[in-house]
Structure 1
């Protein structure tokens, strides 16, 4: 298998827009092409990742740039759609099938709670136990009971990530919050308040993966390599946490461990999620995530910055975009191009993590 590199990445600002999403998705692709120094005609295949954008949405995006006849594959895998597209593009390049593959993730979303259920509803659905705020709230209550995690520790995730988002020009929300504002915002599912939930946003991001010969030919910057990738689903036969199992597979592929990770972008759809992911990814022991947030370990200035982009909490969570936006942030951070939100620990290895409805999880490990 060949080494695979990120040659270029690009985004557009997240928010709520009247424009058709394929236009913004095409802009993200053009931004990635400019960053890569690659002509659109050189792209040999593309993955278009989205959840609710309908039939052949990817073909609508590429038609905005130019109909070159390339292979376009649409990918839907819940919140992990973007990172799943990255996963498949990796193997296309690593196997030698293609030298240049583009992945574009995009979503145009409605306000309010995302309804992931369809068809006949169970009693759990009707009681509100199968919607994301309810599921994460139950996880929060359990963690509080088992480990003494406090509402203040969960709220600090929101404070941290909204502060980070102030420095990200692509973030939906660019406003600092106080701990009191987060804790006293409207309760949505006890103990989670409104400002501990990510917004539903429109947005698009793109990444271009290339073989080593293309990377070395076209690059005068640090080469950014995708060294580990894993996409997995839940199993009834194992007690191991899904994120832990997925991460361990990626760590093994990359020949690194959690102690080697210098920064991470994780799936902080709700604040408790980020704390749970600290533990599941091996950044700390079970029950110790509250200490990490209290001590500032995961701040931009900390020893293990998490979600320097602002995360889903501040940047937003356009479902098909998220995994690719995380890659954009890690690439920019490893290059030292993140300006005011640049992490201070001279990162060499970064990690992205997404998970979604249906029990899907993806972890990617990126190095320079």
Structure 2
């Protein structure tokens, strides 16, 4: 496998844009990424298009990428549609990386795009339930609602996270105040990100006082759904040099699935072990991280699962200040899913957009100075209790 670099990155703002469609969002991100790479559509050898829910929400199945990108000049090269729940974008990136690393093409484009804002909120929530094993869904919903308390809501994913959170609290001693502090940290970062869905700082008190969704998760501990797109141009080193791009190296790209093999280690741990080995580094070498904080407690759990903290030490790492913007190893300097937003199929590519900006020194007020190594973790769906899909990507300068 040959070295691969990110030569261009583009991203739309995230938010609720009722008058925009997936095509509009994907076109904006794609054109920005190609412009950033100093490349034309004719130079792209393949496209991997990540999207989770368009088929269920709009009826556009089968050729989502071809339909969304038909006006960009990209059609004619292979377009592969990638659906992998919340990990759709990062899975598309992984596929594009494989194309370039294997020599099948010199330039590939990964796009993650999603349109979830809908006048009927029940529509996107119903679509997202398809990221569960349908044979287990009703039994899972019944058991979760019985244990979730009075705050149980229509969002089964927050019920799943609430159940995992209660287990984590018993094991680690973590408190609701710790989870509120994650949200405070994320919104502090998001307030400094012009593309974030929520751009206001919040207090611990406000987070704790927000509406209960599923005990112990309050509204502000849960990521919002919305709309957005992000795109990355991946190249061989030679192709990037020809274009004069400000390139970032892809040191590792790993994709694993859930616990069907009976593994004791959760997917983020298995995937990160592989990625660290491929990149020739350890967790102590990572300068900046973007991880999948669909609910605030997930950030603390992932500190431990990624080897950034010891078992039960997630709350202590948070309290140390190391993971804040301005800390030694900022986690989710984009604002994460909690503040930047979570247009499901776009999230994985958006994480990599942020880390590319960080390694280039272009992240503005949220910049981790001197960042050389970055890690992204993106999970998708549930095979109870694990993510059904999990990617780890390591970038370096």
User: What is the TM-score normalised by the length of structure 2?
Assistant: 0.89
Deviations 1:282-322 (A, max 9, x none): 00101111011112110011111000000000111111101
RMSD over aligned Cα atoms: 1.5
Partner of 2:364: 339
Structure 2 residue runs of 5 or longer lacking an equivalent are 56-60, 146-154, 383-387
SS at match of 2:194: coil
Q: Across the two proteins, how many residue pairs are aligned to each other?
A: 366
Shift of residue 119 of structure 1?
Answer: 5.3
Q: 2:327 matched to 1:302?
A: yes
How far apart, CA to CA, are the structure 2 residues paired with 1:349 and 1:82? 21
How far apart, CA to CA, are the structure 2 residues paired with 1:11 and 1:22? 14
8 Å CA contact retained: 2:93, 2:111 = no
How far apart, CA to CA, are the structure 1 residues paired with 2:201 and 2:230? 24
Partner of 2:294: 269
8 Å CA contact retained: 2:286, 2:375 = yes
Structure 1 residue runs of 5 or longer lacking an equivalent are none
8 Å CA contact retained: 1:99, 1:210 = yes
How far apart, CA to CA, are the structure 1 residues paired with 2:74 and 2:257? 35
Partner of 1:228: 252
Shift of residue 237 of structure 1?
Answer: 2.4
Partner of 1:47: 48
Deviations 1:165-221 (A, max 9, x none): 111111111111100000110111111100000000100000000001011222263
Partner of 2:226: 201
Partner of 1:366: 395
SS at match of 1:320: helix
Change (3 A) 1:220 1:125: closer
Shift of residue 341 of structure 1?
Answer: 1.2
Shift of residue 62 of structure 1?
Answer: 1.7
Partner of 2:12: 12
Q: 2:86 matched to 1:79?
A: yes
Deviations 1:95-151 (A, max 9, x none): 110000001110011446442357565332234459211111112111211221111
Higher helix share: 2
| Greater Cα offset, 173-182 or 115-124 | 115-124
8 Å CA contact retained: 1:21, 1:108 = yes
Shift of residue 234 of structure 1?
Answer: 1.8
SS at match of 1:65: coil
How far apart, CA to CA, are the structure 1 residues paired with 2:41 and 2:296? 39
